Structure 1
Amino acid sequence: RGRVGDFNIFVDDDGTAYHVRTGFDLVRLNANYTGPDALVSSFTTPKSSEGPAMFKRNGTYYITAGTGCCACIGGSTIYVLTASSLAGPWTYRGDVGSNPTPFDPHSPNNYVTRAQGSAVLQIGGNGPSGQTIWLGNQWNSGLLETPPGPRNHDLLYWALLSFDADGAIEQLTRQRDITVVLSPCGGGPCNPGPTAAKRSTSEEAPVLAT
């Protein structure tokens, strides 16, 4: 059914895994995560999109996806959809990846991150105290290396997402770096305290500080 490329895997709190894919379908996987079990729901975006990623925060399910831009330098939109149930309905919440004002002559479509969505990473759980990070491929950025690197050497842009009181993802702004709070031992009794990891969004290697 539909296209199956550019997929991501989401695992819910009960351990059930779901395959979210360009197409756009959400399919529950079998217990071994090796094949499909059932179609759960479908969703649409304003324009043809790809690279969906899924996460859960405070009981709400989120899907992000961007307009198709195969190996484009300019980046992509970041469409956001939410649902209170995996069965839907999925509600379109807007595009948080397009800059409302011109800012970059090298990004003709005026996208904030100049990247296309790849995945979403959550650190510290999926509650209000956790951190949610959007990851995007900066296609062709490997060409800036000396000597130029292949496509799979492209940089990965990290954007720390912020949410308003209603759980909506706030409009992204260009981030030079982000600080991620790590908890050794998973927050257990051996936890000596949080460690801050400063992660450059593109140009630099990570810098760790305690």
Structure 2
Amino acid sequence: MKKTTLFVWAVCICTLALSACTQQQEAKEIRPMEIWPDNAGVHVNAHGGGILYHEGTYYWYGENKSDTTSSAMVGIMCYSSPNLTDWKNEGAVLPVVTNDTTSEITQGCIMERPKVIYNEKTGKFVMWFHLELKGKGYAAARSAVAVADRPTGPFKYLRSGRINPGKLPFDMTDEQRAVLDTLDAGKYTEWWTPAWYDAIAKGLFVKRDLEGGQMARDMQLFVDDDGKAYHIYSSEDNLTLHIAELSDDYQSHTGKYTRIAPAGHNEAPALFKKDGTYWMITSGCTGWDPNEARMFSAPSIWGPWTQHPNPCAGKDAELTFHGQSTFVLPVPGKKDAFIFMADNWRPKHPSDARYIWLPIQFNEGKPVIQWRDSWTINDFDHLLN
């Protein structure tokens, strides 16, 4: 009788232990548009961000937004997680400068859409972000770079500037260059006319900014399978996207770049690759207000890029679920698993901006993003591609 009792107790204990272990392994829910508390119970403050997966840990970098302004009062934040749901606040890994008003990243400047990539050759973590100088509005349109030895920093600020001064797109033909030479800005003082749009498409603003370098605002980084890295950004006063090749150490540009959708008014690019095809999701330019997402694909990073219909489906799809794209995360260890990341901006209370993360499905080979109130990382195991 005692042996039977002991056996039953042993079975119960093992069952409870197995149940507890299973519960620990169950993925937690991702709930778009809700408050996402960090390890201190405070809403994650990493807007316009992107994620780096390194040695088993996810690192989320983004803009710290205050309660009253979108200017940089703290700097660029980092959060770490083993599972994409439990986030530890690693602090400001590139803080603003508070004791030197001449610094490019002095408190009150604009630091947007930071992205970090890891360079296998140098062992450095390289951050690029959109920088606007304090008190200058959005006139600077610069790209800034910083580096670190660890994913949690501290990052060392290197410099900022316009991109590829003195360089024309590498794939601009002799005929196109001849047309570019004829463009006279003085003839196109009235914006938004058909003639002005045509001149923009032909490179009017490329020519305007040739000497000082091309403008760069909303931006993205992408590392290809061969280790080559690329900088994707909204240029030419947000009218045309550029893709520019980065140097081997990822800390500068090689001078090689191309234009995408000239005069198309795209921003917020988020690029990923599946089965040899490059996909890019963007938004239109409507300030803080949401709009309908756009999608492009290409057989090569250099194009040709083809536009497709809005990839979002369901309620409020025409407003990208009230969000704006910022990143697409390939999920490590899960084939063809990608997470679409977007921001729900709240300009009247910037720090309360919410996050929209949704799984990307594929219908006849094309990405589809369907709204879900909640989902888990394990849902990818059941999604049909």
Per the alignment, residue 93 of structure 1 pairs with 308
Per the alignment, residue 30 of structure 1 pairs with 247
Give the counterpart letter for 1:86 in structure 2.
I
1:175 aligned onto 2:372? yes
Give the counterpart letter for 2:360 in structure 1.
L
Tell me, yes or no, if the aligned pair for 2:279 and 2:296 is still in contact at 8 Å: yes
**2:367 partner SS:** coil
The 2-side partners of 1:76 and 1:54 are apart by: 18
Tell me, yes or no, if the aligned pair for 2:292 and 2:318 is still in contact at 8 Å: no
Give the counterpart letter for 1:169 in structure 2.
P
Question: Offset of 1:164 from its aligned partner?
Answer: 2.0
CA offset digits 1:55-113 (Å, max 9, x no partner)? 111111111100113222xx2222111111112101112212376xxx56xxxx94241
Give the counterpart letter for 1:69 in structure 2.
T
Per the alignment, residue 133 of structure 2 pairs with none
Question: Offset of 1:36 from its aligned partner?
Answer: 0.9
Per the alignment, residue 185 of structure 1 pairs with none
Give the counterpart letter for 2:361 in structure 1.
S
Tell me, yes or no, if the aligned pair for 2:231 and 2:246 is still in contact at 8 Å: yes
The counterpart of 1:60, out of the listed 258, 267, 277, is 277
The counterpart of 1:78, out of the listed 293, 305, 309, is 293
Q: Which runs of 5+ in 2 are unaligned?
A: 1-205, 207-213, 236-240
Relative to structure 1, the CA distance from residue 115 to residue 45 in structure 2 (aligned partners, 3 Å threshold; closer, same or farther) is farther
Relative to structure 1, the CA distance from residue 97 to residue 68 in structure 2 (aligned partners, 3 Å threshold; closer, same or farther) is farther
Per the alignment, residue 21 of structure 1 pairs with 233
Tell me, yes or no, if the aligned pair for 2:340 and 2:357 is still in contact at 8 Å: yes
Q: Which runs of 5+ in 1 are unaligned?
A: 144-149, 183-193, 195-210
Tell me, yes or no, if the aligned pair for 2:313 and 2:371 is still in contact at 8 Å: no
Give the counterpart letter for 1:136 in structure 2.
A
The counterpart of 2:346, out of the listed 140, 158, 166, is 140
Tell me, yes or no, if the aligned pair for 1:98 and 1:111 is still in contact at 8 Å: no
Tell me which structure has the larger Cα radius of gyration. Answer: 2
Give the counterpart letter for 1:90 in structure 2.
W
Per the alignment, residue 11 of structure 1 pairs with 223
Give the counterpart letter for 2:372 in structure 1.
Q
Q: Report the identity percentage.
A: 23
> Aligned-residue CA RMSD in angstroms?
2.7
In the comparison of the two structures, how many residue pairs are matched? Answer: 163
Tell me, yes or no, if the aligned pair for 2:329 and 2:339 is still in contact at 8 Å: yes
The 2-side partners of 1:112 and 1:173 are apart by: 10
Per the alignment, residue 68 of structure 2 pairs with none
The 2-side partners of 1:31 and 1:163 are apart by: 33
Greater share of helix: 2
Per the alignment, residue 328 of structure 2 pairs with 120
Relative to the length of structure 1, the TM-score reads: 0.68
Relative to the length of structure 2, the TM-score reads: 0.39
Tell me, yes or no, if the aligned pair for 2:293 and 2:320 is still in contact at 8 Å: no
The 2-side partners of 1:98 and 1:176 are apart by: 14
The 2-side partners of 1:64 and 1:110 are apart by: 14
